[in-house]
Chains A and B, each alone.
Chain A
Amino acid sequence: MRRGKVTVLIALMLPLCMALGGCSTTLQPENQNYGLSMSIDRTDEGLIELGLLVPSGKESDGGGEDEPQGKDNYQRFFTLGASYTDALDIMQASTPRTLNLTQLKSIVISQRLASEPAFKGLVESLTLTNHLYGSTYVIICLTSAKDFLNAEKPQAGKRLVSELYTSLKHYEQQGYLPLCRLSDLYYGINSIYGDPVVSLGAPVDTSQDVLTLPSGDLGDALPGALPRLGLEQNELMGGALIRDGQMIGVLDGAECRWLQVLNGRLSGFNYVCQGLTLRLECKSRPRVSVDLSKNPIVIDISLQMIPAPLREMPDAEVLKQQLKTELMDLLAHCQSLSVDPFDFAEIAAAQFLTVEDFVRYGWREHWRDAEIRLSVEVVGTQD
């Protein structure tokens, strides 16, 4: 009986725990400034400029350029600091409500900053920022990240969440854009298994309204110069190559497509050969083996593609040769930069006992000089 009373007493006292913390700030949505997109730039003075896109609570009056009347609007905050953490501190201190990064969907970093050795430290700071989750997408902007952020307009209301995801997923399915989350970038920079590739973007130069075609196909154009016009002022296509925590090159959309085929992440796409459009499907994931016993090392890649012509089938031998040339160009491009976005290092690492042994081996140097034996087969046709 007595024990029962004690239990009841403790149970009744339990809610009093709530009062122990005093009057704390609550997590009401209207008291938060939810960042949706972040931009990070290096200024001419060597400072870090941080930008944040936040949904505004009030309706736009439609007075601004390109702002449809009655649509939701964004607020933009920009701060300056000696480092990312300084700029973030100022941002947290100066935004009118509590800064909340839990809903952040994209981080846009300028190419200028990504090409500096300090980029690796920046990525680590971003990863360790409290409540900035690793699932946030990272985009490297060929021009100013601030311009990219300013060009973000709500096309479908305030829900950049689904809008951005939908567009990124769509671009990825075409094969022209490798998606890269913050954690992918961080793991890729620090992991022994290969180098990361980050989505490439740029705002359109609105001063020009004349469309020009790129020299090759659509995939040969870089963002900001795509032969298109539309409401969306930011373009996404291609990838930024990262080596040792620093951007060292660019892949165009077509190269990104082949990269994703070799990584086994893209199974089919539309392709043009001899002026004829066809769909290419990978029969299976590419088979890759790495022979470390030879000098230079030998990497065997075997790829089987199934063509499905729209109207007429191009010459199989020409098609095969074209595929092989494009793939070899991509591999040679990455070898010349000593960057391995294909994750061949994963296969090589399995042949060592410890991580230290593999690091001591110096995969990057061996990869640069590796002999590539590429076999592309065009098998059967799909109707």
Chain B
Amino acid sequence: MTFTLNRRSAASLGRWAIGMRLFSAVALDGAPLGNSGWISLALAGLMSLPLVLMISFMSRAQPEASPISLIEEAIGLWARRTLCLVLSMFSLYEAGVSTRMAVTCAEYVAFHQTPTLVLTLLPICVCGIACLRGGLGVSGASQVLRYLFFLLIGGMIIVEIGSMNWRWLMPVLGPGVDPLLRAALSYSGMTTALASIWLCMGEETGLDRTGGTEYKKTGPFYPLKILGVITLGAVIAALLLTVLAPSLPGGPNARDFALDKLLANGLSGAPLQLPLMLVWFLAQALMLAFYIYTASFLLKNCFEKLPWWACVLVVSAVTAFLAFSGITDRAYIDKVNALIRYPAVNVILFAVGAVSIIKQRGKRVAKG
């Protein structure tokens, strides 16, 4: 069994995982941004361009080579292993954050008397089993939601269109330029997830990963296109969210309150809640599966002799542990991401990309 993703699966997973993370950041944790979170998202899309361009350039320079082999070629075996370990740890952290958020939602909405331990372990086990079947198991689920999503969102918009108030988008700059820029910087961390997806892609062999039958080639990985789709989708979602409830400068930042605002909205009728819940929980399961998968894949690329099932098991266990620990609490997420994760991943990958490009040019010059 091959554990890498094909191009199409990578693109599908990337859109969901990053889009969901961005949306939850705006909807649940973006209270200080008030009515203008959509501006930060749009700016984040622009800020992510340099690294995404670098990834795009590398993947186009040698479209047949796997990203892992490209990196190994650029910085050597041990450096590549170390990089995979670091990225695996960051994916693990994000898996813990995703689990905690999913558990909070489930507890708040319906399972408030179910032990948290059960609520935590169940989704991890389910996602872990999906990951055991390799990348296609995870990405297959995202394909299902892809078609369901537009149906559900379309229904919600039709139901709620009468209660949307577009004046709540004003004043246009909301809390002011500084908070919007700071949030944009934080949201631009979406590139780390995009980079993880890119690393999980295998060589483009034109063969199905499981059966060996031919499948339709979907062409090269288009990180720019994915970034554009994610940014646009997240901006539209943030706009819709804003016109459904007025912003509250200085309002409570409690996640319970934000969840109520998001899921029930306090203003919306039952017809809105069911599709929103479906989209919300399906996408959360997908996000968790994605991070467990990427963490396992990167761990496997660090310790090649470790069997795949052992990687998934270790990652699942650590995810559960992280979900219960304080560092995945909302108060620390922004700090961990802004101070450690995003700068580290962006700087390291940008440097690796630069080295790779320089080496490739050197080879071309030598050949010439």
Residue numbers of A with Cβ under 8 A of B are: 3, 6-7, 10-11, 13-14, 17-18, 20-22, 24-27, 98, 124, 127-128, 130-131, 133-135, 181-184, 186-187, 190-193, 343, 346-347, 349-350, 352-359
Contact = CB atoms under 8 A, between A and B. Distances in A.
A124 B128 contact: no
Contact of B129 (A10, A18, A124): A10
B164 interface: no
Contacts of A127: 252, 257
Contacts of B261: 134, 183
22 contacts: A3-B308, A6-B132, A6-B309, A13-B125, A17-B118, A21-B114, A21-B115, A22-B115, A98-B113, A135-B267, A135-B268, A183-B265, A187-B245, A190-B248, A190-B249, A190-B250, A193-B167, A193-B246, A354-B171, A355-B176, A355-B247, A358-B171
Contacts of A359: 249
B174 A355 contact: yes
Nearest to B309: A6
Contacts of A3: 1, 132, 308-309
Nearest to A130: B256
Contacts of B64: none
Interface residues of B, number: 48
Interface string B36-57: 0000000000000000000000
**Which of A7, A124, A191 has the most B CB atoms < 10 Å from its CB?**
A191
Contact of A184 (B114, B117, B118, B267): B267
Given A10-B129, A11-B129, A135-B268, 10 more contacts: A17-B125, A21-B118, A130-B256, A134-B260, A134-B265, A134-B267, A193-B167, A349-B170, A355-B35, A356-B175
**Which of A22, A349, A352 has the most B CB atoms < 10 Å from its CB?**
A349
Interface of B: 1, 34-35, 108, 112-115, 117-118, 121-122, 125-126, 128-129, 132-133, 165, 167-168, 170-176, 245-252, 254, 256-257, 260-261, 264-268, 308-309
Nearest to B260: A134
Given A17-B118, A26-B113, A347 B167 contact: yes
Contacts of B132: 3, 6-7, 10
A285 to B, nearest CB: 12
A133 B266 contact: yes
A127 to B, nearest CB: 7
A44 to B, nearest CB: 32
Interface SS of B by simple majority = loop
Contacts of B113: 24-27, 98
A20 B171 contact: no
Closest 3 CB pairs between A and B?
A: A134-B266, A183-B266, A21-B115
A246 B261 CA distance: 23
Contacts of B246: 187, 191-193
A357 B171 contact: yes
B132 to A, nearest CB: 5
B182 to A, nearest CB: 15
Given A190-B250, A346-B168, A355-B171, A181 B266 contact: yes
B201 to A, nearest CB: 22
A190 B251 contact: yes
Given A17-B125, A134-B260, A353 B171 contact: yes
Nearest to B273: A135
A182 B165 CA distance: 18
Contacts of A182: 266
A191 B34 CA distance: 10
Nearest to A5: B309
A58 to B, nearest CB: 25
Contacts of B125: 10, 13-14, 17
Contacts of A358: 171
Contacts of A98: 113
Given A130-B256, A133-B266, A134-B260, A354 B174 contact: yes
A192 B170 CA distance: 10
Contacts of B267: 134-135, 181, 183-184
